[in-house]
Amino acid sequence: MTAATDFKEVDAAVAEAPMVVKDQTPFRRFLSDFAESKVAVAGFFTFLIIVFIAILAPWISPTNPYDLATVDILDSRLEPGEKMMTGTVAWLGTDGLGRDMVSAMFYGLRISLGVGAVSGLIALCIGVCVGLASAYFGGRVDTIIMRIVDLQLSFPAILIALVLLATLGKGVDKIIIALIVVQWAYYARTVRGSALVERNKEYIEAATCLGLSHNRIVFRHLLPNVMPPLIVVGTVQVAHAIALEATLSFLGIGLPTTEPSLGLLISNGFEYMMSGKYWISIYPGVALLVTIVSINLVGDRLRDVLNPRLAR
């Protein structure tokens, strides 16, 4: 290299290079950060297993516990490990009506997760629309919506669900509606908080300056940047929904007996707790516990990973 006489000559030669950061989408960066916690990864895989069980329940269950043709009252209250009339081993015992616990739990997980996920998803969509509208338009719209949200959130979830189910009656769809009504407000408030922060950022002002439409600004600029906290809330809320549904079923006002969730199974087994037939309640209880804990572990890790990134 020969020496240049001043800086102007170097200018052309020096290329402007981005910083030494791997060419990664924000998503891949997020995945590698998430994976740093072994506990969270374990929780995630546990949850994945549970989801697979739930989806594949009809195919992987040893028996179909709701096929009245195969259920035999003579099988009832068998201890874990005993054989049933049909010859299959009841690894976790049978319940009061002769249903194999393992199968009942698989189907129960299916219902519990299904109800939790569907209600969570719909509540999320409603909450996001309401929260975004509230933050973007501000003023009176914001005040009215937030007062409704506050009102809703000041009632205990159980109370609202009880009242709703008393009026609507039993059924999977009724439970889902009740869970949606209970959850949407929480999403709305979270989204609004996040959106208010993002809305004041300069890239939103820039989008306004560039003449983009309201729709585009809200859905293409605001929403993707509001999503991270929402994902955290979402996972925890799904866990809450599952727990709430189990509670309602346990109390007998939730799902009907034809579609029992884990809560109902626990409830069914409750009467046998004192007579030493623990397995009818305990195993569904453990399944519920493991589900909720794994979801919470994932949610916790998400919160840790997504928060410092906001400050990065």
Partner 1 sequence: MTALIELEGVSKRFTRKLDIAEKIVNVFGGHIREQTVHAVDNVSLAIDEGEVVGLVGESGCGKSTLGRVIAGIHPASEGTVKFKGRDITAMSSGESKEWALQVQMIFQDPMSSLNPRLRVRDIVGEAPAFHGLVTSEELGAYVDEMMLRVGLDPSFGRRFPHQFSGGQRQRIGIARALAVRPAFLVCDEAIAALDVSIQAQVINLFMRLRKELGLTYLFISHDLGVVEHLSERVVIMYLGRVVEVAGTEELFAKPNHPYTVALLGEVPRIDRRGQAFMPIKGEIPSPLNPPSGCHFHPRCPHAMERCRVEQPALREIAPGRYSACHLNDQS
Partner 2 sequence: MVSNTPTLQVEDLKTYFYTKAGVAKAVDGVSFSVAKGEVMGLVGESGSGKTVTGFSIIGLVDPPGKIAGGRILFDGEDITSADGERMRRLRGRRIAMIFQDPMMTLNPVLRIDTQMIEAVQAHDKVDRQTAFERSRDALGQVGIPSPEERLKAYPHQFSGGMRQRVAIAIALLHKPDLIIADEPTTALDVTIQGQILYEVQKLCRERGMSLIWITHDLAVVAGLADSICVMYAGRIVETGTIADVIDRPLHPYTHGLIGSVPSHNKRGQPLAQIPGMAPSLLSMPQGCAFHPRCPRADDKCLVDPAMSTPRRPDHRVRCFHPHLEDAA
Cα 297 versus chain centre, distance = 12
Of 2 and 25, the one with the shorter C-beta distance to partner 1 is 25
At 93, is the secondary structure helix, strand, or coil? coil
Q: Phi, psi at residue 187, to the nearest 5°?
A: -65, -45
Q: What tokens appear for 97 in the block?
A: 């009506």
Q: What is the 3-state secondary structure (H, E, C) of 35-90?
A: CCCHHHHHHHHHHHHHHHHHHHHHHHCCCCCCCCCCCCHHHCCCCCCCECCCCCEC
Q: Is 13 in the site for partner 1 (CB under 8 A)?
A: no
Backbone angles phi, psi at 90, to 5 degrees: -90, 95
Identify residues 283-302 at the interface with partner 1 (CB under 8 A).
Answer: none
Q: How near is the Cβ of 38 to partner 2 at its closest, in Å? A: 15
Contact flag: residue 74 with partner 2 (CB under 8 A): no
Residue pair 165/102 in contact by the 8 Å Cβ criterion = no
Interface with partner 1 (CB under 8 A), residue from 45, 137, 203, 270: 203
* Among positions 2, 25, 167, 215, the unique one binding partner 1 when judged by CB under 8 A: 25
- Rounded to an integer, what distance in angstroms lies between the CA atom of residue 222 and that of residue 258? 44
Residue 143 interacts, among partner 1, partner 2, none and using kind-specific CB cut-offs from 5 to 8 Å, with: partner 1
Q: Kindly state the smallest distance separating residue 153's Cβ from partner 1, in Å.
A: 17
Residue 79 near which of partner 2, partner 1, none (CB within 5-8 Å, type-dependent): none
Which residue's entry shows tokens 């409704």? 148
H/E element, 118: helix 101-137
Cα separation, 14 vs 152, whole angstroms: 60
Number of residues that bind partner 1 (CB under 8 A): 28
Site mask, partner 1, residues 156-195, x = CB under 8 A? ----------------------------------------
In the window 211-230, what residues touch partner 1 (CB under 8 A)?
A: 211-213, 216, 220-221, 224-225
Q: How far is the CB of 305 from partner 1 (least distance, A)?
A: 15
Which amino acid is present at 235? T
Indicate which of partner 2, partner 1, none lies near residue 221 (CB less than 5 to 8 Å, by partner kind). Answer: partner 1
224 binds, among partner 2, partner 1, none (CB under 5 to 8 A by kind): partner 1
Is 82 or 205 the residue whose CB approaches partner 1 more closely?
Answer: 205
- In the region spanning residues 1 to 40, those forming contacts with partner 2, defined by CB under 8 A, are 1-11, 14, 16-17, 19-20
- Amino acid (1-letter code) at residue 295: I
Question: What are the backbone angles phi and psi of residue 89, rounded to the nearest 5°?
Answer: -85, 135
In whole angstroms, how close is the CB of 150 to partner 1 at the nearest point? 12
Write the DSSP assignment of 288-302 as a string of letters: HHHHHHHHHHHHHHH
Region binding partner 1 by CB under 8 A among candidate stretches 77-85, 107-115, 203-211, 299-307: 203-211
Minimum CB separation of residue 86 from partner 2 in Å reads: 56
The DSSP bridge partners found for residue 100 are 94
Burial (CB < 10 A; 0-12, 13-18, 19+), residue 205, is exposed
- For partner 1, give the closer residue by CB, 76 or 225: 225
Q: 294, 276 in Cβ contact below 8 A?
A: no
Which residues sit at the interface with partner 1, rule CB under 8 A?
15-19, 21, 23, 25-26, 143, 201-203, 205-213, 216, 220-221, 224-225, 312
Which residues sit at the interface with partner 2, rule CB under 8 A?
1-11, 14, 16-17, 19-20
